[in-house]
Amino acid sequence: MKTLFLTFFLIGYPFCLLFSQIGGDGTYRFLDLTNSARVAALGGTQIAFTDNDLDLTFYNPSLLSDSMRNQLSINYVSYIAGIGVGYASFAPNLRGPNAFAVGIHYVNYGTFDGANETGQLTGSFGAAEYALNLFYSRTFTSQLRGGINLKPILSSFETYNSFGLAADLGITYSSKDGSSATSFVVKNIGSQITTYYQNGDRENLPWDLQLGFSKKLAHAPLRLFITGNHLNKWNLSYQNRPVDVTQITEKSEGFTSLLMRHFILGVEILPEQHVTLRFGYNYQRQKELSVSDRPGLIGFSAGVGVRIAKFSINYGIASYHLAATVHYFSLAANLSQFIR
């Protein structure tokens, strides 16, 4: 266990010193997009779980376990402005303390009309980004697991292409009865390997430190979640961005508001064995995207999960703006159940 913590420290610490930006100050921002209907319904980011849902390894690679062997998962997101987001993963049937899985994450921004500086059309072009996910985890004790997700990245916008490499590091400690879990994750540490144009400056990746906790209540059909993200940077407000201070008219936020920007809350209600209701709240999303006099349901999310025959089906819905509601769909199955 000491070796695991030392490895995480030596890998993650140099990046903590180099990067401290969020929200548009780096490249490959699609890595932050939620693709799981379950996690979307719980607020957009949760990292502490105790069950065998393969989709969850995308958010915390230490959740990968041998109980996910032969599991296949497919996700699709009907994102804003017709943008398509997808993710698929598979865990091969390998037994032992080490577990492996592979996934592919993509964003298709659609087709655009190109034009030169005079406005003359030059033809259409596409834009898309892809990340291969290579998962590895190891069980150290019955309660402690660690994992890594290595992510080669390809980003293509018209004739501009970039290749990068990132990694997620995670560790999870579960209670003996499996009712609670505590997780720590270092997200998206890495670098651009090639820039979008020749001799360009390398841009930062959207790296993040996250700490999460979940607890299933003993005498109620509830599972509670809380995750703190962007723990590497205290002030996440718009006022903290490097702009001309004379343009800022909003008053600065107090301590409580700045603190709440870091936390995402979620709850699962388990009324029946094969049905799960989910709700989440993302304070940071509400503060960034809501209209001051019409906040509506910005920052809130909900969803449902059902098990039908050999399939697990999940749906999530999240409100990003008065004019932008995002729908998430997930389908999973264990292929071992189809082989007799």
Tens of pLDDT, residues 103-140: 999 999 998 888 888 888 988 999 999 999 999 999 99
Number of other residues whose CB lies within 10 A of the CB of residue 208: 21
Work out how many domains the chain is built from and give that number. 1
42 pLDDT more than 60 = yes
pLDDT score of 303: 97
Q: Which residue has the tokens 């809380």?
A: 226
> Is 19 within a domain?
yes
pLDDT score of 2: 43
1 pLDDT more than 50 = no
Among residues of the chain, what percentage have pLDDT more than 90? 61
> Is 64 within a domain?
yes
| H or E stretch covering 135 | strand 121-139
DSSP track, 254-273: -HHHHHHTTEEEEEEEEEET
Phi, psi of 104 (to 5 degrees): -135, 130
> Is 93 within a domain?
yes
pLDDT band at 10 (very low <50, low <70, confident <90, very high): very low
Tens of pLDDT, residues 68-87: 999 999 999 989 888 999 99
pLDDT score of 244: 52
> Is 109 within a domain?
yes
Q: Which residue has the higher pLDDT, 203 or 147?
A: 147
Number of other residues whose CB lies within 10 A of the CB of residue 72: 14
268 pLDDT more than 60 = yes
> Is 187 within a domain?
yes
43 pLDDT more than 50 = yes
* CA 334 – CA 315 distance, rounded (Å): 19
Range of the domain at 42: 2-114+121-217
> Is 67 within a domain?
yes
Q: What is the CATH number of the domain that holds 137?
A: 2.40.160
> Is 334 within a domain?
no
* CA 133 – CA 90 distance, rounded (Å): 10
Give me the mean pLDDT over the 265-287 stretch.
93
pLDDT score of 14: 37
> Is 286 within a domain?
no
Q: What's the distance, CA 292 to chain centroid? A: 27
272 pLDDT more than 90 = no
Of 114, 105, 112, 142, the closest CA to residue 127 belongs to 112
Tens of pLDDT, residues 319-328: 988 878 899 9
